[in-house]
């Protein structure tokens, strides 16, 4: 699967979620949800690095899986935000990270 195909599937999943749970998936929802997921990723990092309460500690493989899930949420929400803001994310990544524009 290429980037645009992945993005289309992520967007469809998000919009289906909205319909299923009667949640309006708009720009406000998407940006606030992105912040929420970044926070959950940060929490997963703290747990993975054992910088948390002992009650939150998890085995290495479990904390790594949680990191991956939370990072996937961040990336998925970034894709959804790009879609709602009419940004070609693949092009933006190319220009910002690969073929840097000044």
Question: Which pLDDT value is given to residue 40?
Answer: 97
Report pLDDT for 102: 62
CATH fold, domain 3-88, is Helix Hairpins (1.10.287)
Dihedral sign, Cα of residue 20, residue 71, residue 65, residue 33: negative
Q: How far apart are CA 99 and CA 7, in angstroms?
A: 21
Each domain of the chain, given as residue ranges in start order, spans 3-88
Give 10-residue mean pLDDT values along the chain (102 residues): 96 98 98 98 93 83 91 98 98 94 65
User: How far apart (Å, rounded) are the C-alpha atoms in residues 10 and 100?
Assistant: 26
Q: How many helices (H) and strands (E) does the chain have?
A: 4, 0
Q: How many Cα atoms sit within 13 Å of 23 on the Cβ side? A: 14
∠ CA 96-99-101 to the nearest 5 degrees?
55
Which stretches of the chain are DSSP H helices?
Answer: 3-21, 27-48, 60-84, 89-93
Which of helix, strand or coil describes residue 76? helix
């Amino acid at each position: 699967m290429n980037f645009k195909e992945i993005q289309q599937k992520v967007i469809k999943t998000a919009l289906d979620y909205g319909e299923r749970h009667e949640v309006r998936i708009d720009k406000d929802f998407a940006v606030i949800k992105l912040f929420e997921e970044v926070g959950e990723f940060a929490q997963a990092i703290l747990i993975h690095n054992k910088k948390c309460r002992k009650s939150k500690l998890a085995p290495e493989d479990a904390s790594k899986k949680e990191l991956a899930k939370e990072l996937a949420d961040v990336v998925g929400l970034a894709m959804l935000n790009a879609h709602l803001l009419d940004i070609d994310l693949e092009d933006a990544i190319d220009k910002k990270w690969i073929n840097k524009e000044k």
